[in-house]
């Protein structure tokens, strides 16, 4: 089976393990991720006009995304618990009928915050779906992607996405 040098989350016998970050140096970590929510024609306008049966879509999605980012280690089995110093969820309306949800996560930690940003963006997008599904079941979440990360041994990284 695979050895430790090939896959960091497998031990020398091929068993899944949590990586030991004990020897790593604490550094400033930042990550940004995006999720795209696409609405059927006319539905996004209703949401933006405040015509959603469940109330304030943005507020619910923002809180859900921030809460989820903080609980990433409970959701993703091999992630370390990280004390985040900040989490922000932002929205950008895109034409014709979509919203980009961005999650930015920061920490002073021994390991990165990419998963926290990805989970935050994902759960915020899923919350938008939940808040709006009474208007249409045809809402789609089409993309979840890491946009940027900094800190740690590998330093800075930026996605080469068409719309980032």
For residue range 59-91, what is the model confidence (pLDDT) as tens digits?
A: 999 999 999 999 999 999 888 999 999 999 999
For residue range 122-131, what is the model confidence (pLDDT) as tens digits?
A: 999 999 999 9
What is the average per-residue pLDDT within 117-121?
A: 98
With 80 as the cut, is the pLDDT of residue 19 above it? no
Closest CA to 107 of 27, 34, 32: 27
With 80 as the cut, is the pLDDT of residue 133 above it? yes
What span, in angstroms and rounded, lies between the C-alpha atoms of 48 and 115?
A: 29
Q: In the prediction, which pLDDT does 87 show?
A: 98
C-alpha dihedral (128, 134, 139, 143), degrees to nearest 10: 20
- The whole-chain average pLDDT of the chain stands at 90
What is the average per-residue pLDDT within 54-63?
A: 96
Which residues belong to the active site? 130
Q: Are strands 140-150 and 84-94 parallel, antiparallel or unpaired?
A: unpaired
With 90 as the cut, is the pLDDT of residue 96 above it? no
14: left (phi > 0), else alpha (psi -120 to 50), else beta?
left
Please give the helix or strand (H or E) that residue 35 lies within, else none: strand 27-38
Q: Answer whether 33's CB lies under 8 Å from 103's CB.
A: yes
- Comparing 130 with 51, the larger pLDDT belongs to 130
Q: Mention every residue, 6+ apart, whose C-beta is less than 8 A from residue 152.
A: 24, 27, 29, 111, 112
What is the average per-residue pLDDT within 8-37?
A: 83
With 50 as the cut, is the pLDDT of residue 3 above it? no
- Split at pLDDT 50, 70, 90, the class of 9 is low
Half-sphere exposure in the Cβ direction for 77 (13 Å, CA): 3
What span, in angstroms and rounded, lies between the C-alpha atoms of 152 and 164?
A: 23
Q: In the prediction, which pLDDT does 65 show?
A: 98
- Comparing 28 with 51, the larger pLDDT belongs to 28
Domain 27-151 has CATH 3.40.50.720: no
151: left (phi > 0), else alpha (psi -120 to 50), else beta?
left
- Split at pLDDT 50, 70, 90, the class of 51 is confident
Could you tell me the residue ranges of all domains in the chain? 27-151
| Residue given tokens 């989350």 in the structure block | 9
C-alpha dihedral (118, 121, 123, 125), degrees to nearest 10: -140
The pair of three-digit structure tokens given for residue 61, joined into one six-digit string:
């999605």
């Amino acid at each position: 089976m695979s050895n430790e040098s090939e896959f960091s989350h497998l031990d020398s016998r091929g068993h899944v393990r949590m990586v030991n970050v004990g020897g790593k140096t604490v550094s400033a970590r930042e990550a940004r991720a995006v999720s795209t929510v696409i609405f059927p024609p006319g539905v996004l306008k209703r949401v933006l006009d405040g015509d959603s049966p469940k109330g304030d879509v943005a507020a619910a999605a923002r809180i859900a995304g921030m809460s989820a980012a903080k609980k990433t280690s409970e959701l993703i089995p091999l992630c370390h618990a990280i004390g985040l110093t900040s989490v922000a969820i932002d929205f950008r309306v895109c034409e014709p009928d979509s919203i980009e949800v961005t999650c930015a996560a920061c920490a002073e930690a021994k390991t990165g915050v990419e998963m926290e940003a990805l989970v935050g963006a994902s759960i915020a997008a899923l919350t938008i779906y939940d808040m709006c599904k009474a208007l249409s079941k045809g809402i789609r979440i089409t993309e979840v992607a890491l946009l940027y990360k900094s800190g740690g041994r590998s330093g800075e990284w930026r996605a080469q996405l068409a719309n980032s």
